[in-house]
């Protein structure tokens, strides 16, 4: 098994423990790994807060606390003041050795009841990745006090109170300004509430050799920046596919227009729109490059389906007789498609059915819950399990949207998007993503590649557009950046 790239591989807590164990078997003692983690943490702290003269390190009883005890010892040796607050009177395993060294080298360990002494930076070494329940007792009180004070917090490995596997933040949970993750990225740092709680993330692999990583499979991977290659000079529009966007019931013409324009901006050769007759004039006036046609009944869709190579079904479609009829006709055409919005709601309301072989579903958590006949809270409780269940159930590539969007395929592979921002929580963003993925399908990408590239381009464009501020960001603000990014031009 080839070694995964540690900068993009995402692990469960159990998988990282397996890497740790393999490294120890290979000759790196556990206390040595702890020492390396402490050095990495001090380096990260001094790089981010070079003016800091004093630290307060909160230590739990396990290995995360051991990292903290050694960090305090190293900080004092480097001339910083470093107080330690211990959540437990004793430590276990290698952490006990670290605690003894901290005391032996002159460290003062305060009990949790003493509260938090003043410091320039606080360090969270309470629990790390081993916690799968809400903190309680003295540890919970320390976390509450940590979150209430105004100074920055550096979390060791994972903010205490965050589920390292799911990204669910228990109450209470440390809200860190930065997190230095050890050995391998914990997948929960990148989805659900993980990014908010972790702050700026960095990875320290602690000098573990590549062959050790090859002994444990990663659970998922991070998307990396990608673009499409330059086109041949003798190109013509017929080479790049024909997207048919189907939707735009009365009062919802903007949704299908956003989807259609996104397909065009990402490079589809032709884009047609099947919509209500009332929307045609406005669509032509707003974007004459699109080809809208009024469709009254499903049979009016047949010639448009015949000409199209890819379908984008759902934006503004509605769920009444008109929308249901077009949805049924689109699925029966058997062409590659992206299903979103009401296209997904109609699917959830029907008995299970076969979808076209090249199909991408793009639900948000509420739509995902309907598709799996469960509740949104269950989807968000384990987004990785949910997106894999959706891919298996529907035999399709699935994008589970939200903070840290996930892309899954039937074989269980999952890719995680590290980009995006809260400004993108606004109407029309999902319609744009639908068009982006459809436009990439039209240009010959596989459903998996189109979904991964599309999700990444969409989120990165959102981040560029948000430089002017997250509030007030519009879905259409992404178009200029999508065009630049898909062509490999990152705007500064």
Query: What percentage of the chain reaches a pLDDT higher than 90?
Result: 95
- Whether residues 202 and 251 fall in one domain: no
d(CA 69, CA 55): 12
Q: Decide if pLDDT at 472 tops 90.
A: yes
| Exposed e or buried b per residue across 318-356, where buried means at least 16 C-beta atoms within 10 angstroms of its C-beta | beeebbbbbbebbbebebbbbbbbbbbbbbeeeeeeebb
Q: What is the DSSP string of 84-145?
A: EEESSS---HHHHHHHHHHHHTT--EEEGGG-PPP-SEEEEES-GGG--S---HHHHHHHHH
- Whether residues 147 and 185 fall in one domain: yes
Neighbours of 100 (CB within 10 A): 12
Q: What is the pLDDT of residues 125-139, one digit of tens each?
A: 999 898 889 999 999
Q: Is residue 442 part of a domain?
A: yes
Q: What is the pLDDT of residues 302-352, one digit of tens each?
A: 999 999 999 999 999 999 999 999 999 999 999 999 999 999 999 999 998
Domain termination residue (choose one: 184, 219, 254): 219
Find the helix or strand (DSSP H, E) in which 34 lies: helix 30-48
Rounded to two decimals, what is the model's pTM? 0.96
Q: Decide if pLDDT at 122 tops 90.
A: yes
For position 147, which CATH number holds? 3.40.50.10260
Confidence of residue 492 (pLDDT cuts 50, 70, 90): low
Q: Is residue 232 part of a domain?
A: no
Q: Decide if pLDDT at 152 tops 90.
A: yes
- Whether residues 262 and 132 fall in one domain: no
- Whether residues 194 and 343 fall in one domain: no
- Whether residues 146 and 274 fall in one domain: no
What integer pLDDT is reported at residue 469 of this predicted model?
Answer: 97
User: Among 211-215, 287-291, 403-407, which is the least confidently predicted range?
Assistant: 211-215
Q: Decide if pLDDT at 371 tops 60.
A: yes
Query: What percentage of the chain reaches a pLDDT higher than 70?
Result: 99
- Whether residues 190 and 252 fall in one domain: no
Q: Is residue 423 part of a domain?
A: yes
Q: Is residue 14 part of a domain?
A: yes
d(CA 291, CA 356): 24
Q: Decide if pLDDT at 217 tops 60.
A: yes
- Whether residues 309 and 420 fall in one domain: yes
- Whether residues 351 and 210 fall in one domain: no
- DSSP H helices in 207-252: 210-213
Q: What is the pLDDT of residues 223-273, one digit of tens each?
A: 999 999 999 999 999 999 999 999 999 999 999 999 999 999 999 999 999
d(CA 129, CA 422): 26
Count of domains forming the chain = 2
- Whether residues 183 and 328 fall in one domain: no
Confidence of residue 1 (pLDDT cuts 50, 70, 90): low
Q: What is the average per-residue pLDDT within 455-463?
A: 98
- Whether residues 161 and 205 fall in one domain: yes
Domain that holds residue 423: 237-486
d(CA 141, CA 398): 40
Q: With beta carbons less than 8 A apart as the criterion, state whether 45 and 72 touch.
A: no
Q: Is residue 227 part of a domain?
A: no
- Whether residues 74 and 132 fall in one domain: yes
- Whether residues 263 and 309 fall in one domain: yes
Q: Extract long-range pairs of 252-255: CB within 8 Å, 24+ residues apart.
A: 252/315, 252/316, 252/317, 252/318, 253/278, 253/279, 253/282, 253/283, 253/316, 254/316, 254/428, 255/315, 255/316, 255/341, 255/428, 255/431
Cα angle 333, 338, 341 (rounded to 5 degrees) comes to 110
Q: Is residue 1 part of a domain?
A: no
* 337-339: strand order across its sheet: 185-186, 9-11, 220-222, 414-416, 406-408, 397-400, 359-361, 337-339, 310-313, 242-246, 270-275, 291-294
Q: What is the pLDDT of residues 182-208, one digit of tens each?
A: 999 999 999 999 999 999 999 999 999
What integer pLDDT is reported at residue 3 of this predicted model?
Answer: 76
Domain termination residue (choose one: 219, 247, 262): 219
What integer pLDDT is reported at residue 491 of this predicted model?
Answer: 62
Alpha-carbon distances, residue 352 vs 146, 243, 473 (angstroms): 49, 26, 37
Q: Is residue 3 part of a domain?
A: no
Domain termination residue (choose one: 159, 187, 219): 219
Q: What is the average per-residue pLDDT within 203-218?
A: 94
For position 267, which CATH number holds? 3.40.1190.20
Q: What average pLDDT is seen over the chain?
A: 96
Q: Is residue 4 part of a domain?
A: no
């Amino acid at each position: 098994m080839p070694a995964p790239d540690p900068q993009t591989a995402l692990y469960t807590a159990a998988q990282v423990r397996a890497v740790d164990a393999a490294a120890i078997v290979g000759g790196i003692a556990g206390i040595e790994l702890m020492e390396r983690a402490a050095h990495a943490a001090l380096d990260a702290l001094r790089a981010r807060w070079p003016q800091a003269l004093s630290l307060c390190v909160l230590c739990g009883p396990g290995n995360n606390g051991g990292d903290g005890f050694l960090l305090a010892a190293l900080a004092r040796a480097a001339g910083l003041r470093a107080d330690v607050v211990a959540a437990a009177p004793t430590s276990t395993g290698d952490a006990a050795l670290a605690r003894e060294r901290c005391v032996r080298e002159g460290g003062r360990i305060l009990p949790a009841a003493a509260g938090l002494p003043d410091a320039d930076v606080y360090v969270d070494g309470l629990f790390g990745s081993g916690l799968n329940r809400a903190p309680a007792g003295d540890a919970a009180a320390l976390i509450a006090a940590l979150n209430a004070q105004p100074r920055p917090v550096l979390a060791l490995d994972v903010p205490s109170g965050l589920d390292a596997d799911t990204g669910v933040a228990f109450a209470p949970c440390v809200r860190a300004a930065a997190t230095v993750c050890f050995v391998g990225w914990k997948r929960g740092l990148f989805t659900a509430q993980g990014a908010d709680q972790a702050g700026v993330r960095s990875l320290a692999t602690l000098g573990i050799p590549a062959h050790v990583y090859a002994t444990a499979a990663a659970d998922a991977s991070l998307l990396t920046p990608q673009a499409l290659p330059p086109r041949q000079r003798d190109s013509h529009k017929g080479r790049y596919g024909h997207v048919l966007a189907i939707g735009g019931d009365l009062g919802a013409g903007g949704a299908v227009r956003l989807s259609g324009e996104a397909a065009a901006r990402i490079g589809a050769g032709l884009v047609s729109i099947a919509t209500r007759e009332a929307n045609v004039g406005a669509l032509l006036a707003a974007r004459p490059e699109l080809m809208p046609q009024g469709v009254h009944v499903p049979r009016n869709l047949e010639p448009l389906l015949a000409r199209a190579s890819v379908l984008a079904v759902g934006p503004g479609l509605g769920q009444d007789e008109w929308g249901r009829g077009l949805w049924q006709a689109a699925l029966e055409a058997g062409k590659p498609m992206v299903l979103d919005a009401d296209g997904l709601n109609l699917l959830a309301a029907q008995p299970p059915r076969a979808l076209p072989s090249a199909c991408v579903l793009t639900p948000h958590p509420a739509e995902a819950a309907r598709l799996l006949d469960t509740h949104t809270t269950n989807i968000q409780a384990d987004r990785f399990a949910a997106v894999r269940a959706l891919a298996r159930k529907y035999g399709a590539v699935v994008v589970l949207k939200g903070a840290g969007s996930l892309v899954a395929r039937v074989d269980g592979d999952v890719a995680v998007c590290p980009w995006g921002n809260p400004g993108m929580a606004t109407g029309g963003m999902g319609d744009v993503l639908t068009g982006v993925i459809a436009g990439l399908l039209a240009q010959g990408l596989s459903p998996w590649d189109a979904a991964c590239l599309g999700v990444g381009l969409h989120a990165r464009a959102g981040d560029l557009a948000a430089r002017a501020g997250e509030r007030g960001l519009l879905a259409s603000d992404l178009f200029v950046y999508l065009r630049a990014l898909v062509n490999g031009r990152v705007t500064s």
